[in-house]
Each structure stands twice: as C-alpha cells, then as structure tokens.
Chains A and B, each alone.
Chain A
Amino acid sequence: MFDNTQIQSYKSITAPADLRQKVMTSCESTEKGKKFPVQKTIYGLAPLAACLLLVFSISMFDKGEPLMLSAGDIPLNGESATLPYMAESVAENAVYGLRVASLEPEKYAVTLIGNQEMEIVIADGLAVPAEDGSIQWTVIVPNEDMVYKLTLLAEGKDYVVTLRYNVQSGNFSIQYDEE
C-alpha cells in the first residue's frame, strides 16, 4: 500500500524537542493534583455514576439483557473483600466472582473468577492468568483517585472490568461491561 520510502518518511517523524519538558512538567503537576480539574470533577461524580449504573444494570437484568453491572463499593481498609452478589447476576459467560485483597501498602490484588476460559486482552497494572483459571490483577493505588481497566476476551466477546479507587471514601468500585 505504501512504498518503503513513504514508510521510512513516516517513521522519521520525531516528537518536537520541547515535548519532553512539557511531558515532565505536566506529569509532575498531575502528581501534585494540579492538573486535569475536569477529570477530577468527573471522578468526584463517580459514586453518583455508580449508583445510576447499578439502577440501570438492574433494569437491564430484569429485561433479560445483562449488559452491564455495577457491583458497588468495596471497603478495603487493608483487608480483603469479596463481591458475592456479582455471582449469578450476570450473563453465563461473565466474570462471576471478584475478590480484592491488600498485598502491601498501595498495592492490591484483584482476583477475577470466571466460569470459562478468559483471555487477557489488555490491562492497566499487571494481569496474569492463574492456574485455577482465575485472573490475578495487581494494581498500585497511589494517594489519589484512580481508574484501572482490564479487558477480557471470553467466547469471542470483550468484557471490560473498570476498577475505580476513591481516595475520599477509601473504597473501590467495580464496573463490569460487555462490549
């Protein structure tokens, strides 16, 4: 489609020299909480959004179309927590169990249990398949609101598990979507 000259020409495009400094400055200010006010506002609305999603999910489930499930908040406080009510309430090929445990300060292990083979497509943090068929997903939670996504492939369908950490409440909220 493109000849070698065109490909090489495309690849020779380099990032502007001053971009590195912009990136460093921007990332540092993000770390200090000075950037992304819009996103922070959105994250601040996460509990409300989670409630709306839960209501929406339940209504979808009642119609026999379990497309989405918001599993609510998981209080951590350094202990492990399980979401029993994810079980049986989603489609047959869904993740049906989820457990979050504290590994060490700022690091949490999320275990996703499915009733069939799940392939990890892409994950924020580290996700690896375990021998028992579950998926061990390790995320680092710094002292700020964070959103992590894990995309799974099961029976040809993509599922996105979204894990949100709310620094104010100290809770995780989990959202599960079929794409």
Chain B
Amino acid sequence: MTIIQDRQMQLNKAYDKYADMLYHLSLSHMQSREDAEDVVQEVFCKYFAKAPAFTDEAHEKAWFIRVTINQCRDQLRHRNVRRYTPLHEIEEIATQTGLTDESSLDVMHLLSYLPEKLRITVILHYLEELSVEETAVALKIGKSAVKMRLSRAREMLKDKITKEDGHV
C-alpha cells in the first residue's frame, strides 16, 4: 500500500467518525448548508494534506473541532457575514437541511440570536456536550471565560424568550 492509499484510508475512517459532528457544528455556526459543506470539505482536506499524528482519541477530536472552528471563522470573516440571521431565513435554512421538526427549528432559531463568540461556546458545551474544560481548550480561552460566555448567552436568550413569551 502506498503512502497516498494509506492516507486515503485514514481519511475515509476519519470521515466516518467525524463528518456528522463537524457538519452539524459547522451548520449551526455558519447557518448555511453550502458554507457548512465547504467548511467540512476544507477540514478534511487539511487532515489529508497534513496527516497529523494524535496522541489519543481526545486529541484527535480536539484537533477536528479546533480546525473546524478556525475554518468557520475564516469563512465568516471573508464573507463578512452579518451577526444575526433574520427569522425568515432560519426556516429557509432548516428546510434546506431537512430540519423541519420544531426542536431543530428552535435550536437554530435560538442560536441565530447569539453573536459568533457566544454561539460557538453554546454549541460546543450544550449541544456537542463538551465539558467546560474541553470547550476552553477548543476555543483557546480560559475556563472562566467559557463560564462567562455561557452565562451571557443564557442571559441574552432569556431576554429574547421573555420578549417572545416562548420557552427554551
């Protein structure tokens, strides 16, 4: 087996393991199916090109999350996206991605109210279910900063929900 074939096999394995996670992470962050696909594609190409070696599974997962976040940020920077997605576009995004049940719509809807920094923190901790420490490592910030961002996000959403008379 050549080095390239070996790397292709590794890529396939990594894809099986992480593609879904990276896709819903990117989708909820970018709020666009096309952009999410681009991000996932770039991340796996980086993995394929760099062939990083990992000490363990946690290290590998952290690498994929970290690179995905960086890629999302790069894309957001380049397209100069607005911070909030209007409500009428949320349903459109959800329809594009097949997320037609109420729960998915709620999640996408709520996330769209948060600024980028808070949104990614919420996604990693509450939806990807990373611990505060893992979230801090992924975002390269301190644990206290993670807690502060989560608290600010909760406050922002609470205000929003109160105004809409809804429930989280």
Chain A residues in the interface with B (C-beta under 8 A): 1-3, 5-11, 13-16, 19-20, 22-24, 26-28, 30-31, 35, 121-126, 128, 138, 140, 142, 144, 146, 148, 151, 156, 158, 179
Contacts and interface: CB of A to CB of B under 8 A. Distances in A.
Contacts of A5: 103
Contacts, number: 121
Given A1-B122, A31-B4, A23 B107 contact: no
Interface of B: 4, 8, 11-12, 15, 19-20, 22-24, 27-28, 33, 37, 40-41, 44-45, 48-55, 62-63, 66, 97, 99, 101, 103-104, 106-107, 110, 122, 126-127, 129, 137, 140, 142, 153-154, 157, 168
A158 B28 contact: no
Contacts of B41: 19, 22-23, 26
A124 B8 CA distance: 18
Contact of B126 (A1, A128, A140, A142): A1
Given A14-B23, A22-B37, A2 B49 contact: no
A151 B45 contact: no
Given A1-B122, A27-B45, A11 B127 contact: yes
B50 A1 contact: no
11 contacts: A2-B107, A7-B126, A7-B127, A9-B99, A13-B99, A15-B40, A23-B19, A27-B49, A31-B48, A122-B137, A140-B50
Contacts of B104: 6, 9-10, 13
Contacts of B19: 15, 19-20, 23
A139 B14 CA distance: 19
A-B interface, 9 closest residue pairs, ranked by CB to CB distance from nearest? A126-B53, A9-B103, A15-B23, A13-B24, A27-B48, A15-B19, A6-B103, A9-B104, A23-B44
- Could you say which of A19, A23, A26, A140 has the most chain B C-beta atoms within 10 Å of its C-beta? A23
Given A6-B107, A7-B127, A23 B137 contact: no
A146 B28 contact: no
A138 B53 contact: yes
Contacts of A13: 20, 23-24, 27, 97, 99, 104
A162 to B, nearest CB: 13
A162 B112 CA distance: 33
Nearest to A7: B127
A124 B50 CA distance: 7
B65 to A, nearest CB: 10
A6 B106 contact: yes
B103 A125 contact: no
Contact of A9 (B63, B101, B142, B168): B101
